[in-house]
Copies of this chain bind each other. A is one copy, B any other.
Amino acid sequence: MNLRIPGPTPCPDDVLEAMSRQMINHRGPEFAEILSRVTGGLKQLFQTQNDILIFSCSGTGAMEAVIVNTLSPGDRALVVSIGAFGQRFGALAEAYGVAAERLDFEWGTGADPEAVARALEANPSYRAVFVTHNETSTGVTNDLEAIARSCRRVRPDVLLCVDAISSLGSLRCPVDEWDLDVVATGSQKGWMVPPGLAMVSVSERGWRASERATLPRFYFDFGKAREFAAKGQTPWTPAVSVFFALDVALQRLVAEGIDGIVERHRRLGELTRREVKALGLKLFADERLASNTVTSVWVPDGVEEKALLRMTRDEYDVEMQSGQGKLAGKVFRIGHLGWASEDDLLGAIEALRQALPRLGFAVPEATARAG
């Protein structure tokens, strides 16, 4: 199966082989070595000197960790939302009794950095800003550098918390250069590793927030994670196999380097958008902010999304993802993050080229291919 969803992403053979290693003592020296090596590799790719904590959970678990470790009941936070994952950050904060005020931008567009600055100016009591770097539901990459700069200009001390789940390890996100405080990602995205681990960096500002924060927490407690990391362990039994896999994947990624990783994703993103448009399809996202990890495409009039995705999966062996939240049935998504090649993407395009006419959408002749 050509798995073209925005995560879990396909994993290279050596990463999958590492998944099948026999168990070890998670409180012994071998695990300590792995934890140390993995943390070091992550620091390079997060481009940070901050602490990195690793939790056994999905990305949503990491988002919950970010909230419960930084805020107290009744704290006000600004949630900058451009799609379903921005909404999730808000819903999570509200579930914990945080006064989460939304700054919503139209789905398909990015957040306006100046609007974020104005919201912070208008209300100096916000303790934290939550923002999605790469919005997987719409295929938009926020201009996080500009947003972060706006935040710091108005409120140098504000805590900047970033959902970088589908950006870190794929897109440029230099944590220290952009002065990001608490930044979360997940193993099943650009990292080319199966789901099961979430990685979070915490700045000094983040640690000060966590010392003050009184939201209830235990499994996701940053303090416990740091305390155990110092002795080469995690507080609770970790997803050991995913650590084995992440260890292998990070060797590849560190060798490739940030610039190579970013360039690889840029190339695949551009290829995908060009070919999608050549099929006569319309991109959902504002192309100036189109994500290089996932492309969202309007389902053409007269075609049923479910029928299209079923046909491409069952008859052409290409698995794409349906629309999320209010985009269900309206857009579909093509993942091109992590271990993906040009051929993988061209294969997905070819499946669309063949399936769409069978479902009533005429693909422009000019794009007919020899093979």
- Chain A residues in contact with chain B, CB under 8 A? 1, 3, 5, 7-11, 16-17, 19-28, 56-61, 64, 91-92, 95-97, 186, 188, 194-196, 215-219, 235-242, 313, 319, 321-322
For the complex formed, measure the closest distance between the CB of A137 and the CB atoms of chain B, giving whole angstroms. 13
**Could you tell me if A16 and B21 are in contact, using CB atoms closer than 8 angstroms?**
yes
**Could you tell me if B60 and A28 are in contact, using CB atoms closer than 8 angstroms?**
no
Kindly state the separation between the CA atoms of A218 and B3 in the bound complex, as whole angstroms: 28
For the complex formed, measure the closest distance between the CB of A46 and the CB atoms of chain B, giving whole angstroms. 20
For the complex formed, measure the closest distance between the CB of A78 and the CB atoms of chain B, giving whole angstroms. 19
- In the complex, 25 of the A-B residue pairs with CB atoms within 8 angstroms, ordered by the A residue number, are A1-B24, A3-B23, A3-B25, A7-B237, A8-B26, A8-B237, A10-B23, A11-B22, A11-B23, A19-B20, A23-B188, A56-B57, A57-B57, A58-B219, A58-B236, A59-B237, A60-B235, A96-B218, A186-B237, A194-B239, A194-B241, A195-B238, A195-B240, A195-B241, A196-B196
User: Which residue from chain B places its CB closest to the CB of A189 in the assembled complex?
Assistant: B237
Which of A9, A64, A97, A218 has the largest count of B CB atoms less than 10 A from its CB? A218
- Mostly, the A contact residues are loop
Which of A23, A217, A321 has the largest count of B CB atoms less than 10 A from its CB? A23
Give the residues in chain B near A215, CB-CB below 8 Å: 216
Q: With A91-B218, A97-B216 as given contacts, are A196 and B239 in contact (CB-CB < 8 Å)?
A: yes
For the complex formed, measure the closest distance between the CB of A131 and the CB atoms of chain B, giving whole angstroms. 18
User: Which residue from chain B places its CB closest to the CB of A194 in the assembled complex?
Assistant: B241
**Could you tell me if A64 and B219 are in contact, using CB atoms closer than 8 angstroms?**
yes
Q: Which of B5, B19, B23, B216 contacts A95 (CB 8 A)?
A: B216
